[in-house]
Amino acid sequence: MGEYLSPGVYIEEVDRGTKPIESVGTSTAAFIGESLVGPRNEAVLCTNWSQYVKAYGDFSKSEYLATAVYGFFNNGGARCFVTNVAPEVADDKGGKKDDKKGAEKKDEAAVPAFDDKDRPKRFIGQDLGPGQRSGLNTFNDIPEVSIVAAPGILDPAIQEALIAHCELMGDRFAVCDGPKDLVGDVSKLTRPRDTQYGAVYWPWIEIYDPERGNIYAPPSGHVCGVYARTDIERGVHKAPANEIVRGALGLKYVITKAEQDLLNPKGINCIRDMGNRGIRIWGARTLSSDASWRYLNVRRLFLMVEQSIEIGTQWVVFEPNDPPCGRRCDVTSAPI
């Protein structure tokens, strides 16, 4: 309370206790993958392609990670965290060092090939506390992350860990890749388990790689960029669908409407060549069988709302739980 030493009217600005709730960001992505160079098990913030190259090298240093991050920025993404979980035995010349097991050596221009045996362990990682987190756990203490992907990683154990991470954190969404190769007809396509915290995209897209020429790449990195672009331009309430995939030159498989009629009910979002309209994302479903959370824009919108409320009401903690709260009027008259 102020001091009123002489007669007069004293005007004070008094906080009435109500505060606006601002919406949190929804366009920050997190990528986990393997690169021959760069720090291991450390989430590095990249705000453009040059920063990624400085930390993890160019397209020749990874099989899928670089193309995914490039596709993210090319499609409108602005911020992402990248964690490298490549084995320490990998050198910076495009292959693995000689060891007693006789690992194959790769030519400098060859695509890095990492051992699949220990891959789930490296991607899933451990949480041993601050400074001792590895794999997906490196994203645990980064609240800005809202989209998570492991580009090109089709191992069921890793995709399960990706989904479980998003479910556990409760504030992010997993973007998964569908199988690279189609075995049989489209009805035989596999997908991750039922969840409202993830979506899957298929088929793989054809892109230009400066090191390898035209190749087929997993779509998750480009799709995360479309998520970010749609969030920034329209808002998270808008489904990231019927949107051009920038950088896509073609598709590994051309899907017809009849074939998508089989995939869409299963929660497999298709990327289709729409002729003169270009290559577009043509689906917006989660992997959930619950009709309430069938559409990913609904799920992501509620994630944003829930997180915004949680952060926007932190000021209430330890405040008195009574209506008057001892507040004074805005204008005080002091007849002295």
Nearby residues of 285 by Cβ (< 8 Å), 6 or more positions away: 199, 264, 267, 268, 269, 294, 295, 296
What tokens were used for 27? 């366009």
Residue 278 sits at φ, ψ, to 5 deg, of 85, -175
Mean pLDDT of all residues in 83-87: 95
224-238 pLDDT, tens digit per residue, is 999 999 999 999 999
Mean pLDDT of all residues in 168-173: 96
Torsion sign over Cα 227, 230, 233, 235: negative
Average pLDDT, the chain: 89
Give the span between the Cα atoms of 81 and 107, in whole angstroms: 29
Phi-psi region of 64 (alpha: psi -120 to 50; beta: other; left: phi over 0): alpha
Class of domain 8-334: alpha beta
Asked if residues 287 and 267 have their Cβ atoms less than 8 Å apart, the reply is yes
Mean pLDDT of all residues in 146-175: 97
Q: Give the pTM.
A: 0.86
Place of tokens 């390898």: 212
What are the sequence ranges of the domains in the chain? 8-334
Place of tokens 């994630």: 303
Query: In this predicted structure, what is the pLDDT of residue 6?
Result: 87
Mean pLDDT of all residues in 152-157: 95
Nearest to 227 by CA among 202, 251, 253, 201: 201
Mean pLDDT of all residues in 136-158: 96
Mean pLDDT of all residues in 68-79: 97
- Residue 106: pLDDT above 70? no
